[in-house]
Amino acid sequence: MSKTRRLIIVIAVLAICFAFLYPSLQWYFWTPKEDQAIAVGSREQIREYSRRTAYSIVGDLKAKAAAGDTTDLSKEYPLEIQLAKKAYKDSGRPLPKVWNAESILGAYQNEKAIFDAIEAKYREKMLGLKSVHGRALQLGLDLAGGMSVVIQADFQDTAKRVGHELSAAEREDAINRALETLNNRIDQFGLSEPVIRRQGADQIYVEIPGTADPDRINSIIMGKGNLAFYIVDTDATTALRQYLMQNPLGVDEKTMTVAQPGIVPEGKIVRKVYTKDSYGLDEFTGEYMVLESTPGLDGSHIQSATVSVDSITGKPETNFVLDKEGGQIFYDLTSNNVGKTLAVVLDERIKSYAVIQEPIRESVRISGFSADEAQSLATLLRTAALPVTLSVVNQQAIGASLGEDAIRQGEKAIIIGLLAVFLFMFAYYKGAGVNATIAQIINLYIMLAVLSAFKLTLSLPSIAGFVLTIGMAVDANVVIFERIKEELRAGKSRKASIDAGFHKAFWAVMDSNITTIIAALFLAQLGSGTVQGFAMSLAIGNMTSLFTSLFVSRLIFDFETDVLHMKHVSIGWGIK
C-alpha cells in the first residue's frame, strides 16, 4: 500500500473516531456538573426546571424594572440578552445601548412572550444535553452506581392466558417484544442508554446506572401499559363539550365523572384527549370524549405494527396486524360502527382517534399523522402491552461512591501500565519504543471511540481489558521490530529493512492477534456480566492494536524516513 493511501486511511480513522468521541468529550469535560444532574433527569423534571427557571428570571427582571434599577445585566443574564437581541432584530427595532431589566423586558410584547422564549431556550438546552448524554460513552453500573434488576418471564401464565402451550418461536417473539417494551418505558427514569438484555431463555437483565428509586423502577418496569380501542359516543361528546363551555370545572378530575347528571348516559365513560408537548410528554388538550364503557378490542391482539407511506397522498400512515381472534373481533366492531369515531386509549388516556370508513379485519391502517407521530403510534401499538407476564426475582443497588473510586483506580492503572510499557520499550528499543508508545496511545483513543460508536458500556472489567491490552498490544511491535533488526544486521538500508520487517512480520502478527480475538469473542458470547465486559474490551483492543501496529507505527517510520530524512533506525543497542 502506498504511503499516501496509508496516511489518508489513518487520518480518516482518527477523524471518524473523534466524531464518535465528541459527545463524550462534550458531556464529561465541557458540561457543568449542575447541568448534567438536570439533563439526566426525566423529561418531567426538565420541564419543571425550565418553567421554574423562566418564572424566576421573569420575576427578577420585573422586580428590577419596577424598582427603576438601570444596572447593566450583560454578565448576569447573557442568555436572556441573546434572546432579547433576536426579538429586537425580528421586530426591526434598534438595539438598546444598555441591557438593563427594562430593555430586556421591552423586547417582548407581553410577559407571556418573554416567559415562553426563556422557557424554550432552557428546554432546548437541557433536551440537547440529554441527547448528548445518550450519545456519550456510558458508564456501567459498577462505575456510575445505580441498580440491577433480574426479571423472570412466566410463560406458563401466558400459556393459560392464550389457551395453548407456547411454541419456541412464540416464546422468542414474546421475550423480544418484552425487551422492546422495557426499552420504550425506560426513558421515564431519565436515562438514555440503560443496559437491557436477555439472560438465558426466560430472563431479562436490566442495569440502571445512577440514583434510582426501587419502587418507581418496579412500577414502571412491571406496569401493564393497557392499550384498547373504544367506540366514541359522538352525541354525548358534543353535549359534554357544550356543557363544559358554560361549566369549565364540571368534570371531577379524580373520578372522571360529570357533575350534572344526564350529560353522560349510563354505561359510558369520560376520558381526556392528550397530545405530545414540546418536551415529548403527554399534554392534556383540554378536550374530553365520551366512550363506551367496554373496549371494543384490547392491545394484546396486536401482532405487529409498522409505518408506511400512502402511495397516492404521500402521507405517512400506521399499519398494524391483529391475530386471528383479534381480527374477527375488530371486523365485527368496525362493521357495526361505520361512520363512528374509534379512539385509541393507552393507560386511560386517549392518544388518537379516527372515523371508521369501512369494516376492517386483520390489517388496520391509521392515517392523519406526521411522520414522527406515525412512528410513535406504531411503537405504541407494538409495545404498549407486555406480551408475557414478568416478575422481579432479584434486585441489587450499588452506591456511586464505589464507582468514583473504581474510576480513579482504573485511570491510575491505565496510566501506570502505559508508563511501564513506555519505559520498557524505550529502554530496549530506544527511538522505536517511542514509536510503539505513540501507537498505543492512539490505540486507546480508538478503543474508546469504538465503545462509544457501538454504544457499549464502560465498566470496571472493561478497564481491566484496557490495561491488559496495553501490555499485550506491543507484542506486535516487538515482532516487527525484531524483524527489522534482523534486516539491519544483514546490512540493508533503513527503508529496505523497514519494508522487509513489516512484510515478514505481517502474518505472525495477524495469527497471534486473530487467535486472541476469536477466544475473546467466544468468551463475550458465552459469558455474561463482568466476563462479557472484559472479553469485549479485550477483543476490541486486539482489533484496534492490529491497525495501530501495522498502519500507525509504519506511518511514523515513513514520516521519519521521507520527511525527517533519517538514515539510521533507532531500534536497539548495538544496532546502527
CATH number of the domain where residue 283 is located: 3.30.1360
Are 58 and 111 in contact, with CB atoms under 8 Å apart? yes
| Beta pairing class for 282-292 and 268-276 | antiparallel
Residues 459 and 547 in one domain: yes
Q: Cα Rg for the chain, rounded, in angstroms?
A: 31
Residues 233 and 214 in one domain: no
- Say what the pLDDT of residue 484 is: 92
* Within-domain flag for 19: no
Task: Tell the burial category of 468 from Cβ atoms under 10 Å away from its Cβ (0-12, 13-18, 19+).
Answer: middle
Residues 96 and 153 in one domain: no
* Within-domain flag for 16: no
Residues 216 and 242 in one domain: no
* Within-domain flag for 445: yes
Mean pLDDT, consecutive 10-residue stretches, the chain (576 aa), reads: 84 94 92 89 86 94 93 92 94 93 92 92 92 82 76 82 80 80 59 68 79 57 67 94 90 89 91 84 88 85 72 70 84 91 84 82 60 54 61 73 67 82 88 90 91 80 80 85 91 91 90 87 75 82 90 91 87 74
- Say what the pLDDT of residue 191 is: 44
Q: Which three cell numbers stand for residue 430?
A: 530506544
- Say what the pLDDT of residue 564 is: 87
Are 294 and 266 in contact, with CB atoms under 8 Å apart? no
Q: Interhelix angle for 431-453 vs 530-547, to 10°?
A: 130
The domain tally of the chain equals 4
Residues 114 and 155 in one domain: no
Examine the fold and report which residue of 221, 253, 273 is the final residue of a domain before the chain moves on: 221
CATH code for the domain in which residue 160 is found = 3.30.70.3400
Nearest to residue 207, comparing CAs of 359, 360, 396, 378? 396
Strand partners, 458: 139
Rounded CA separation 353/230 (Å): 9
Instruction: Name every residue whose Cβ is closer than 8 Å to that of residue 78 and which is 6 or more positions away in sequence.
Output: none
Task: Tell the burial category of 371 from Cβ atoms under 10 Å away from its Cβ (0-12, 13-18, 19+).
Answer: exposed
Residues 410 and 502 in one domain: yes
- Say what the pLDDT of residue 190 is: 44
Residues 249 and 354 in one domain: yes
Are 540 and 532 in contact, with CB atoms under 8 Å apart? no
Strand runs labelled E in 141-231: 146-154, 195-199, 203-209, 227-231
Residues 76 and 162 in one domain: no
Task: Tell the burial category of 54 from Cβ atoms under 10 Å away from its Cβ (0-12, 13-18, 19+).
Answer: buried
**DSSP letters of 227-264?**
EEEEEB-HHHHHHHHHHHHH-TT-EETTTTEESSTTSS
Rounded CA separation 181/352 (Å): 20
Residues 123 and 55 in one domain: yes
- Say what the pLDDT of residue 557 is: 92
Domain that holds residue 164: 146-221
If phi > 0 it is left, if psi is from -120 to 50 it is alpha, else beta; for residue 295 that is: beta
Residues 465 and 481 in one domain: yes
- Say what the pLDDT of residue 534 is: 81
Rounded CA separation 327/94 (Å): 65
Greatest alpha-carbon span in the chain = 106
Residues 125 and 152 in one domain: no
Are 369 and 352 in contact, with CB atoms under 8 Å apart? yes
- Say what the pLDDT of residue 341 is: 92
Rounded CA separation 397/442 (Å): 36
Nearest to residue 505, comparing CAs of 525, 477, 468, 545? 477
CATH code for the domain in which residue 472 is found = 1.20.1640.10
Nearest to residue 122, comparing CAs of 51, 65, 40, 219? 51
- Say what the pLDDT of residue 377 is: 54
Residues 415 and 537 in one domain: yes
* Within-domain flag for 4: no
Q: For the whole model, what pTM was predicted?
A: 0.70
Distance, CA of 189 to chain centre: 12
